[in-house]
Amino acid sequence: MWELRYSLCVQQGLEADQLEDEEKQQRIYLSIVKSLDSLLLVTFKKTDSLDVIQTLCVGLAEVGDFERSNTLLKSIIADDLENNMLITAANGVFNWSYNLLEMGDTLAAGEKILEAWAIVDTTTLFYDLEYISEGAAHILASAERYEEAYHFQKLHDSIKEVSQSKNVLANMKVTDGALLLKLSNLENEKLEGDVKYQKHLAWGITTLCLVLLAGVIMMFVSGKKRKKLLTQVQDQHEELNDHNQFNTRIISILSHDFRSPINSLNSITTMAKAKILTNEEFKEVIGEIDEQLEATSSYIGDLLYWAKSRISGVEGKVSKFELEGNLQQISQSLRLISKEKEIGIVSNIEKGMMIETEETLINIVLRNLLHNALKFSPSKSRIEVSAKKVSKGWELFIRDFGVGMTKEELGRLFTSEKTSTQGTQSEQGSGMGLVLCRDLMRALGGNLSAESKKGVGTTMFLFIPKK
């Protein structure tokens, strides 16, 4: 009998859910899918076929065949709605939305879960209202529809409180008592009936068991999804915190890097008004400030481009470029600072050395590190930059002979806590530059570290992996 084979498939599904060995789970789910496929060939009643198809959809989703699962769900949902089987239809649309989420189509998943809610919202069954509102909160959050997700999370909490009230528990007890009484009456009628009636009764009991087993497996599947939901919500909360910290760093660095050329302009205009500068001196200084503004504008442009790419999830552009040439351009953009403090930037990089990575990110990191080295170096000193190719990529070294750091200061160097130390000529910083550099190197799959000794100087180490 097909009913016994179907019952065995359901039982195997329950047992597979308890396994911790995912590989073994997948083998069992594949076996169940094959068995249910063959059952569709021998179930002639439409209602029987719908039961088999519904369970088959769950199995297909477990083995990752979401496309076929969605196709079958679409057909049985239409039949359920036509026959006014609202809860069954809502469960089908609910599973469809999670299939879309697993496929990465968060936009379609968000619309589909709202369809499931529109169906179940016409009922008063607290269990279905509770888990579908919870699923809506999760899927809408994944689709970045946070206001709607928050609405459904609050709705879920309210439904859960109501469903746990004494009145609901009392109603459940009355319902359970009525079901037991009905089964008892059926059993008495079976004893009193003829052989034909006994066969019908046996059929009814078998069908009831199948429905109960299908309900149990759906509860197990829903439980696993709720556990997965909790984990994903926690991950999204951490991701939001990271975005907030990232925004704070970007704003702090932008405000700091614009401050220097703006202050210079302010000083020049003040001196010009007081007629302290001659025309020749004014032209010379304006030229230098124009150069500084152009370099700062280019740097800010690179920084904003990378920030926008990160927020939108776009992959950065990998290119091949000569490291020495980029270093010279960055050194030129910092010429006013190095000239004022009479600090030489010495390149020991082999001419023609090519590296392949995201050029924009490397330029941002090198400019920040060189700016830091200039800030903490005394006048008439030097900064040395060298690089070498290694088996897995490239290593860069930026060494200054400045104030250096203690072990405690070195330990706090890359922490998220905002700390800014004045330079050798009381230069101000944003306190976020090195944290940003660390994040950028991690985004490249590389690393940033430092060695330092108080009163001797600091060396920054960069590792850039091959792409």
Same domain, 192 and 329: no
Give the largest Cα separation in the chain, rounded.
121
Same domain, 336 and 455: yes
Same domain, 188 and 61: yes
Same domain, 91 and 213: yes
What is the structure's pLDDT at 403? Answer: 92
- The H helix count followed by the E strand count for the chain is 16, 7
Query: Rounded distance, CA 205 to CA 190, Å?
Result: 11
Whether 249 is covered by a domain: the verdict is no
Q: Give the helix/strand (H/E) hosting 465.
A: strand 457-465
Same domain, 219 and 351: no
DSSP SS3 for 322: strand
Same domain, 225 and 327: no
Picking from 197, 215, 240, the residue at the C-terminal end of a domain is 240
Angle at CA of residue 48, ends 50 and 63, nearest 5°: 50
Same domain, 334 and 192: no
- Structural domain of residue 112, as residue ranges? 2-240
Whether 347 is covered by a domain: the verdict is yes
| CATH code, domain with 186 | 1.25.40.10
Q: Give the helix/strand (H/E) hosting 251.
A: helix 195-273
Q: How many residues are listed for the chain in this entry?
A: 467
Query: Rounded distance, CA 416 to CA 433, Å?
Result: 11
Show Cβ contacts of residue 83 under 8 Å, excluding neighbours closer than 6 positions.
Answer: none
| CATH code, domain with 419 | 3.30.565.10
What is the structure's pLDDT at 168? Answer: 46
Whether 251 is covered by a domain: the verdict is no
Torsion of CA 111, 114, 115, 116, to 10 degrees: 130
pLDDT tens for each residue of the chain, 467 residues long: 556 655 666 666 667 667 777 777 667 766 766 666 665 555 544 455 566 666 766 767 777 788 877 777 777 788 778 888 888 888 888 888 888 888 888 888 889 889 888 888 887 676 778 888 888 888 888 888 888 888 888 888 887 777 666 454 445 444 445 544 554 555 555 555 554 555 555 566 667 767 677 666 666 656 666 677 767 767 666 656 655 655 555 555 555 555 556 665 666 677 666 667 677 777 777 766 766 666 666 667 666 666 665 655 556 789 999 999 999 999 998 888 888 899 999 999 999 999 999 998 899 899 989 998 999 999 999 999 999 999 999 999 999 999 999 999 888 888 765 556 667 776 655 445 788 888 889 988 999 999 999 999 999 999 999 87
What are the residue ranges of helices labelled H in 313-406? 323-333, 335-341, 359-375
Whether 263 is covered by a domain: the verdict is no
Question: How many domains would you assign to the chain?
Answer: 2
Same domain, 217 and 336: no
Whether 414 is covered by a domain: the verdict is yes
pTM summary value: 0.44
Residue 281 — φ and ψ, nearest 5°? -65, -40
Angle at CA of residue 295, ends 293 and 296, nearest 5°: 60
Whether 439 is covered by a domain: the verdict is yes
Picking from 184, 208, 240, the residue at the C-terminal end of a domain is 240
The identity of residue 287, as a single letter, is G
Picking from 190, 212, 240, the residue at the C-terminal end of a domain is 240
Same domain, 231 and 341: no
Whether 234 is covered by a domain: the verdict is yes
Burial environment of residue 435 by CB neighbours within 10 A (0 to 12, 13 to 18, 19 or more): buried
Same domain, 200 and 337: no
Strand partners, 322: 354
Whether 233 is covered by a domain: the verdict is yes
Same domain, 103 and 208: yes
Q: Which residue has the tokens 């379609």?
A: 108
